[in-house]
């Protein structure tokens, strides 16, 4: 396994921008969040930036390929590092309370999982066919159905900097949400292939 330093730096930079501007400063302004995300995805071409794209890559790739898992696992770590740096800056090295509290450990609820899988299929299709700015806008519009796929690195970084007692809960939700989005992207790809 060979790690590409430029890709890792792009992952850190992209996750930093998303945590700092999209999740930390802009908040609920969907259009602005979409535009900043689009700019980050365009500037950091080749970087996944959001954990959901890393999970989509894992799930639509060769699941038996260890390099696929290792390389993408390193991307997930780089995304957390970028988010950590942004949160440290936003909180003035912890002097300002973030208010982060991890939710309860994920429990399989079909009415939560089905929209996540569907959103993964839609975002995966847009991501594979369109420019980064279109994907970014779709991600912002579907954010409610994507769970921690959008802010997973930000939430994990917040949890690591705050009360680590909820790290297992945050990690389990982050992994399950990402895997469900990845399954959606995989199903969307399979359906697309079957229709050709």
Residue 27 vs residue 30, higher pLDDT: 30
Looking at the predicted structure, is the pLDDT value of residue 78 above 90?
Answer: yes
**The pLDDT of residue 106:** 47
Whole-angstrom Cα distance, residue 154 to residue 84?
7
**The pLDDT of residue 195:** 63
Q: What is the pLDDT of residues 127-174, one digit of tens each?
A: 887 777 788 877 877 776 676 666 777 777 878 777 655 777 777 777
- Rg (the chain; Cα; Å): 16
Mean pLDDT within 57-66: 89
Maximum CA extent, the chain: 56
Mean pLDDT within 16-20: 80
Residue 107 vs residue 9, higher pLDDT: 9
Looking at the predicted structure, is the pLDDT value of residue 179 above 80?
Answer: yes
Looking at the predicted structure, is the pLDDT value of residue 74 above 90?
Answer: yes
Q: CATH homologous superfamily of domain 5-95+106-194? A: Glycerol uptake facilitator protein. (1.20.1080.10)
Q: What predicted TM-score, i.e. pTM, was given to this entire model?
A: 0.63
């Amino acid at each position: 396994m060979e790690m590409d330093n430029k890709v890792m730096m792009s992952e850190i930079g992209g996750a930093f921008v998303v945590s700092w501007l999209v999740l930390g400063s802009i908040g609920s302004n969907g259009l602005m969040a979409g535009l900043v995300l689009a700019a980050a995805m365009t500037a950091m071409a080749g970087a996944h930036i959001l954990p959901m794209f890393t999970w989509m890559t894992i799930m639509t790739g060769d699941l038996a390929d260890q390099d696929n898992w290792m390389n993408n696992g390193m991307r997930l770590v780089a995304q957390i590092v970028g988010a950590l740096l942004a949160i440290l800056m936003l909180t003035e090295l912890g002097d300002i309370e973030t208010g982060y509290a991890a939710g309860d450990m994920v429990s399989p609820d079909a009415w939560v999982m089905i929209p996540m899988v569907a959103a993964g299929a839609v975002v995966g299709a847009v991501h594979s066919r369109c420019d980064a700015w279109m994907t970014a806008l779709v991600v912002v519009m579907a954010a409610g159905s994507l769970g921690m796929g959008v802010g997973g690195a930000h939430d994990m970084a917040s949890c690591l900097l705050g009360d680590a007692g909820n790290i297992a809960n945050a990690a389990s939700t982050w992994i399950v949400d990402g895997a469900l989005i990845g399954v959606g992207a995989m199903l969307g790809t399979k359906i697309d292939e079957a229709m050709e």
